[in-house]
Every structure is written in C-alpha cells, then in structure tokens.
Amino acid sequence: MVHLDAIIVGAGFSGLYQLDQLRKKGFNVKIVESAPGLGGVWYWNRYPGARVDTHSTIYQYSDENLWAKWNYSELYPTHKEIREYFKFVDQQLDLSKDIIFNTKVLTANFDRKQNLWTITLDTNETIQTKYLILSTGFSSKPYIPNYSGLDTFNGLCYHTANWPHEDVDLSNKRVAVIGTGASGVQVMQEIANKVKELIVFQRTPNLALPASLKKISLEASAELKKTFKDRFSLCKQTMYGMDYDFIYDSTFSVTKEARESIYKDLWKQGGLRPWMGTFIDTYFDKNANTIAYDFWREQTLSRIKDNAIAEKLAPKISPHAYGAKRPSLEQNYFEIFNQDNVTLVDVNQYPILEITETGIKTKDQYYDIDVIIMATGFDAITGGILDIKITNDSQESLAVKWKQGIKTYLGLATNGFPNLFFTTGPQGPSAFCNGVTCAELQGDWITECLIYLRSKSIQQIEATQLSEENWKNYLLDASKDLLMLQSKSWYMGANIPGKTNELLVYPLGLPAYKEKSSNCLKNTLQGFVLT
C-alpha cells in the first residue's frame, strides 16, 4: 500500500498548483485524475465553440517563469489552446510524473487513531495519506435531467461536458440543443450555419455579453507582458480576481449621460467587464439593476428581427436580476435566431413531455431530431466533491452532513472530517473569482497551513462546529441584500432537483476573503482544533 503526505484529487488549475507548491516544500504528494490528461474541466471541454470567458492575459499562472515563455494566440483562447497551455506547464514543471491518470477516487475514509485517510480507487488499489485535498472543480459533475424516454432515443446524444474527442459531423442534421447557458450559447453559434435544423429549448434567457474576440500577435504579446506583474498583483486585490474592478460609486452618483457613456465603454471593451466592471450597487439596488438591464436589452434588441423572438430572448421585464446568473460571452448568438433553420422553444410555455426514439415531444408539438445536445449544466460546487463517498471513523458521510445545508469554515474545511481540505469548493470564492487567482490564493493557504502543522508535529487539523456556524452566519448576514439570492441559479443549487437552495459561493470578494483566511493563519489557525 502506498503511503503519502497528501493526495490531491483533480489535475486542473487548482490541483496542479497545489502539487507544485507542496512538492517544492518537501511533501510527498500525488494527484489522482480521472482523465487521461491534464486540465480538469478543460480536458473534457471539447464541444464546438468551447473557449475561455476570462481574457488570456490573466487566465494563466502568475509565475513569471511560466508566463515569460508562453504566448496565447487569442484574447479568449479555444479549448484546444488551453490544453496546449497545460502541456506547456507540464513540460516546465514536470508534473505528470506525480499524477495517477485514468483513475477515479471512489471512497475516502479517515481513521483518527492512525491519522490517515484511506483512499480506494476504481483500479482496486488503495492509498493511505495524511491529508486529502479535493480540487475537483466547481463544474466537474454534469447534470442530465431525467427526461421520460431519453434512453429510447435512437439518434446521437451528447452532453457538452462529455463531447467526443473526434469531430462530430452535424451537417444536414436536425439538432436539438437543450439549455442556453454558457456551453449552449457557444455550441449553438458554432453549429447554426452547419446543421439542417437547430431547435433551441430555452428555460431562461441568457443575458449574454459581447466576447470581442481578437488575435494576439507575438509582438502584441510581448508588449502585454510588460504589464503582467502589475496585472497579476491587481488580480489579488480586486473583488473577483480580475485585473479590473467594479466602480464603487453609486449608479446614481453620475448623470444619466455619464452613466450611459460608462455603460457603452464597458460594452465596447467586451468580455465580462459589463458584469464585473460596472457600478457595484447594480447587485443590491433594484433600481440600479433595472437600469443596467435596460441598457443590455437596448444593445441586444437591435440584433433580433422578429419581435416575438426578441421578447423571448430579451424580455421587457428581466427574467432575473441582471448579473444574478453568470452571463455568457457571445459573438453572434442573437443573430442565429434570424436564420430560417433555427427555432426557439420556450420550455416554460411548452415543456418537454417526452423524448422518443426519433425526437422530442413538447406540450404543443413533436420535433423530429437526429442529434440531441444536452447543454444542461452541472451539479456545481459540491457535485464533484460528493461524487466521492467520504466518511469519517464514525462512518458519518459528508454527503449526509451537507444534505440539509452546506457547513464549512473558510470554504476550505468542514467539522467532523480532519485533515480534509477542498479548493474551489462551497462557501469559498470559486465561481465568483478568476479561476487561476482563486487556485493560487487557496493553494498558498493550504501550503502554508501544512508547513505550520509539520513544523509543530501536529497530526490532525479539524474545523470546529462553532467556526462553521460563525462562517455561515457571516455569509448570510453579509450577503442578505444581494439580488442574486432572489434568483434561481446554479449559484444557489437551484438547477438540481432536491438540492438545498442556498448560496454556495462566497460573494463578498477576494479582499474580504483573503483578510479572513489570512487572519486565521496569523492567529495560529484560529477556528481549528489542532492535535
């Protein structure tokens, strides 16, 4: 049996960063990864049109030894280029030698007497480790609705998260896309001109933002790199880990004309700036939010020819608070609905009743379909963690503990499960943060924590019940005015039937989170029991 200091589950940005940092500090550590290669979700994201929605200048590690040698070719890289980036990182840091690929963790049980986690793998192997670090990502467990008759469908059926590695020929096919989240938007605008028919099943309109794609020459990349140190430094100081921040003045502190000018400038810059760079009161003041939505709608309506379809895609009354759901980036998404071969189905009005051998039956009609693309999202934040059967020596299950609501301390650990840490998990910054910034922030915290434990010969670290309760109460109190709490989204677990509806992500920004987590370290890991 293999004995290690730490096992990391997942070889995405977080897991790889954690591996590199712990190895440098002399820990005997391995990653277990279910995929054959690096990248986490980016190993699997291969559907047509898949690309990053964070600009490439900061969608990479802040280590100068890496970024000085790497050049992205686009501002918003495709899935192929992201995998090339991970290959490059592997070449530079020699990570793969400590990664167990093509292997899934099935169970993890902690023994307090031995101070060890026993990990069982789907290869029938067992590993024992002092620390277990779950870097499973916040979108690693695909969700497929339980449609009646889905298993009888004779055509091709894919979830965007499990797209075939070989090209799929959709030409002259009648294709249904179920879901209009990020992957749905990306795949639809990529295939709309290739398929015979495209039937889009929409539950909630996507308040998508302009991607503003552009190539980056080697010369332009060299110029950008002159700004990288400052950009990465800024990422660690801004609300959501970007190299820009919100406008901390009120929407109503400027004239209507000035406000309109600011909105237009953010729109022109594109990307997530109209979301993460706008007036901060947009997210807790209903009047400010309405003004922001009305601007978005105005920019969007002119691109849709049919008034009835326009009302479905950009309704007069916002389907939810602007920004309460993560907006997707688009290039020509709204224009595809002007095409004769594209049909929009509102499943609120005409729900899917059944999937048959040859198509999809809704409340009002039947659609002959050759290919079904499930763009139905993920059991986000907790899904990847709870996909592993995690128990303690009392045989208490983490899944059972969290069934009635999430309890963590700092979004990093949970009572009852010593020597267990998770990154990009519940009640941490995860989805409200540039993924790489979050990976480095939480990875540094865990590394510093383990170094301290080793220096003091401490065998166990466990969050207290009180620290969990205080953390949850702090989040509830601090976020009570956020409009997103009134919206059904995967931020709230609302997309998964039976999942407790609660805010799953730390919404108060990196500076506040960093202060809380740093104070914990400075105060000898206050909030934890050390034995």
Has residue 339 got a pLDDT over 80? yes
- C-alpha distances in angstroms, 218 versus 73, 80, 176, 223, 261? 8, 19, 40, 9, 33
- Please name the residue that has the structure tokens 């605008």: 189
**488 or 269: which leads in pLDDT:** 269
Mean pLDDT of 480-494: 92
3-state secondary structure of 75: coil
pTM over 0.95? The answer is yes
Has residue 40 got a pLDDT over 80? yes
| CA atoms of 216 and 222, how far apart (whole Å) | 10
Q: Which two tokens stand for residue 478?
A: 């601090």
* CB neighbours of residue 375 within 10 Å: 23
pLDDT digits (tens, 9 = 90+) for 159-194: 999 999 998 999 999 999 999 999 999 999 999 999
Task: Quickly state the pLDDT bin for 469 (edges 50, 70, 90).
Answer: very high
Name residue 74's beta-bridge partners: 215
What is residue 280's predicted lDDT score, i.e. its pLDDT? 97
For residue 465, give the DSSP letter. H
Mean pLDDT of 510-516: 97
| CA atoms of 165 and 185, how far apart (whole Å) | 20
What is residue 471's predicted lDDT score, i.e. its pLDDT? 98
Q: Residues with Cβ < 8 Å from 26, sequence gap 6 or more?
A: none
Q: Which two tokens stand for residue 175?
A: 């294709």
| CA atoms of 19 and 529, how far apart (whole Å) | 25
| CA atoms of 507 and 268, how far apart (whole Å) | 26
- CA end-to-end span of the chain: 26
Has residue 81 got a pLDDT over 80? yes
What is residue 167's predicted lDDT score, i.e. its pLDDT? 87
Name residue 207's beta-bridge partners: none
**DSSP run (H or E) holding 492:** none
| CA atoms of 490 and 494, how far apart (whole Å) | 6
For residue 408, give the DSSP letter. -
- C-alpha distances in angstroms, 350 versus 147, 307, 336, 347, 372? 14, 19, 21, 5, 18
What is residue 520's predicted lDDT score, i.e. its pLDDT? 98
- Please name the residue that has the structure tokens 């379809």: 309
Residue type, 484: M
Q: Which two tokens stand for residue 446?
A: 């865990």
Has residue 289 got a pLDDT over 80? yes
* CB neighbours of residue 421 within 10 Å: 26
Has residue 2 got a pLDDT over 90? no
List domains and CATH numbers for the chain.
2-38+95-141+379-530 (3.50.50.60), 174-217+241-374 (no CATH)
Residue type, 272: L
Mean pLDDT of 493-520: 95
Mean pLDDT over the full length of the chain? 97
| CA atoms of 284 and 282, how far apart (whole Å) | 6
What is residue 404's predicted lDDT score, i.e. its pLDDT? 87
3-state secondary structure of 210: strand
Q: Residues with Cβ < 8 Å from 206, sequence gap 6 or more?
A: 180, 181, 184, 185, 327, 328, 330, 333
Contact 16, 31 (CB under 8 A): yes
What is residue 121's predicted lDDT score, i.e. its pLDDT? 98
Name residue 374's beta-bridge partners: 159, 178
Contact 517, 440 (CB under 8 A): no
Name residue 268's beta-bridge partners: none
**Each residue of 310-348: b (16+ CB within 10 Å) or e?**
bebbbeeebbbbbbbbbbbbbbebbebbeeeebebbbee
- C-alpha distances in angstroms, 142 versus 42, 203, 208, 522? 14, 18, 22, 38
Q: Residues with Cβ < 8 Å from 325, sequence gap 6 or more?
A: 204, 207, 484, 487, 489, 491
Q: Which two tokens stand for residue 352?
A: 């899917």
Has residue 1 got a pLDDT over 80? no
pLDDT digits (tens, 9 = 90+) for 437-460: 999 999 999 999 999 999 999 999
pLDDT digits (tens, 9 = 90+) for 193-248: 999 999 999 999 999 999 999 999 999 999 999 999 999 999 999 999 999 999 99
Q: Which of 36, 39, 44 lies closest to 14, judged by CA? A: 39
| CA atoms of 361 and 338, how far apart (whole Å) | 24
Q: Residues with Cβ < 8 Å from 385, sequence gap 6 or more?
A: 134, 136, 398, 422, 425, 426
pLDDT digits (tens, 9 = 90+) for 82-130: 999 999 999 999 999 999 999 999 999 999 999 999 999 999 999 999 9
| Cα angle, residue 497 at apex, residues 493 and 503 outer, rounded to 5° | 15
What is residue 168's predicted lDDT score, i.e. its pLDDT? 94
**488 or 359: which leads in pLDDT:** 359
Task: Quickly state the pLDDT bin for 262 (edges 50, 70, 90).
Answer: very high
pLDDT digits (tens, 9 = 90+) for 239-249: 999 999 999 99
Mean pLDDT of 139-159: 96
For residue 327, give the DSSP letter. P
